[in-house]
Amino acid sequence: MEDPQKSAPIAVFDSGLGGLSVVRHLRQILPHENIVYFGDTARVPYGTKTRATVAQFALETAGFLLQFKPKLIVAACNTASALALDALHADLPVPVIGVVEPGARAAVQLGRGHTVAVIGTEATIGSEAYLRAIRALAPEQAVVSAACPLLVPLVEEGRTCADPIVSLTIQGYLAALRDSDVRVLVLGCTHYPLLREGIAAFLGPNVHIVDSGRETSLTVQEHLAGRRALSPAATAGTMRCYVSDNPGRFRQVGSRFLNEPIESVELVEAERYVGVRPPGRTS
């Protein structure tokens, strides 16, 4: 029997616009899916905040997307995935896929016993979520990590690896990792893929770079295919974006993350998502 959910959209949320670097891969890998995105730009960033606050914000942000009756929700934010995935699983009535576990799985596969390094926000690294996800798959795996708080504002400002401030910052954060036996580096923040080239150049050709957003998109494909819930459409999927503040800045900065122009962005007032509880898992 055909799944009535096939034509339902994939819902994606993030603290802001970083999640668009995940959507970029989703659109490439699953071009026929409709996507609805909500960026919580009024309260961005989540990366310096505590588990309780991130969980509350993530539930409200994901909860807003339930009105579109999605077949799946993607937590396209490493901090929310690291700190709030259990809360999202418990409270939302649809499957939720975060970016940490897919990134961890790819890292273990590529690491083959050598050290895996993870970089991310203060909150993601402090949570040790990647460490736990990697050790769940490979208990003996050596893991090192570093919080790189400056990389998000560098990317948001539009700076690239050609900027000496960016290269100096990358060197400062990664020098210690380079000098250990690292074989794999996980980009544990959705902003970092925009600096991938400079990071890869600094670490050298022997280090594999894992983009958690790409791995997550492959996991979404696998999940939908396994449930026969891939879109039956033959035409290109649509994309609608919602933000809690500053649609203009989202459109302008976000298109670099998405790698295509952002057409439709709608502002969501606080009353429509703050303090609104999701309806809860029905089963």
Active site residues: 77, 189
- Of the two residues 52 and 90, which places its CB atom closer to a second copy in the complex? 52
Interaction of residue 191 with a second copy, rule CB under 8 A: no
Q: How far is the CB of 7 from a second copy (least distance, A)?
A: 35
Tokens 């736990």 locate to 132
Interaction of residue 157 with a second copy, rule CB under 8 A: yes
Interaction of residue 156 with a second copy, rule CB under 8 A: yes
Q: How far is the CB of 246 from a second copy (least distance, A)?
A: 5
Instruction: Quote the tokens at residue 62.
Output: 């994901």
What's phi and psi for 89, nearest 5 deg? -60, -40
Interaction of residue 5 with a second copy, rule CB under 8 A: no
> Among 86, 7, 5, 14, which Cα is nearest to 47's?
14
Contact yes or no for 275/86 (Cβ under 8 A): no
- Of the two residues 3 and 245, which places its CB atom closer to a second copy in the complex? 245
Q: Is 135 helix (H, G, I), strand (E, B) or coil?
A: helix
How far is residue 69 CA from its own chain's centroid?
21
Handedness of CA 199, 201, 207, 211 (dihedral sign): positive
Q: How far is the CB of 117 from a second copy (least distance, A)?
A: 20
Interaction of residue 249 with a second copy, rule CB under 8 A: yes
> Among 31, 34, 35, 55, which Cα is nearest to 43's?
55
> Among 182, 181, 208, which Cα is nearest to 196's?
208
- Of the two residues 50 and 264, which places its CB atom closer to a second copy in the complex? 50
Length of the chain as a residue count: 283
The correct pick among 24, 27, 43, 251 for binding a second copy (CB under 8 A) is: 43
The correct pick among 136, 137, 168, 236 for binding a second copy (CB under 8 A) is: 168
Query: Across the beta sheet with 239-243, what order do the strands follow?
Result: 96-98, 72-75, 10-14, 35-39, 239-243, 265-267
Number of residues that bind a second copy (CB under 8 A): 29
In the chain, the amino acid numbered 203 is: L
What's phi and psi for 260, nearest 5 deg? -155, 160
Query: What residues between 51 and 70 interact with a second copy by CB under 8 A?
Result: 52-53, 56
Q: Which stretch binds a second copy (CB under 8 A): 27-35, 99-107, 153-161, 198-206?
A: 153-161
Interaction of residue 101 with a second copy, rule CB under 8 A: no
Interaction of residue 169 with a second copy, rule CB under 8 A: yes
The correct pick among 131, 146, 150, 209 for binding a second copy (CB under 8 A) is: 150
In the chain, the amino acid numbered 54 is: V
Interaction of residue 164 with a second copy, rule CB under 8 A: yes
- Of the two residues 133 and 268, which places its CB atom closer to a second copy in the complex? 268
Contact yes or no for 152/48 (Cβ under 8 A): no
Residues engaged in binding a second copy (CB under 8 A): 41-44, 48-50, 52-53, 56, 149-150, 152-154, 156-157, 164-165, 168-169, 172, 244-246, 249, 270, 274-275
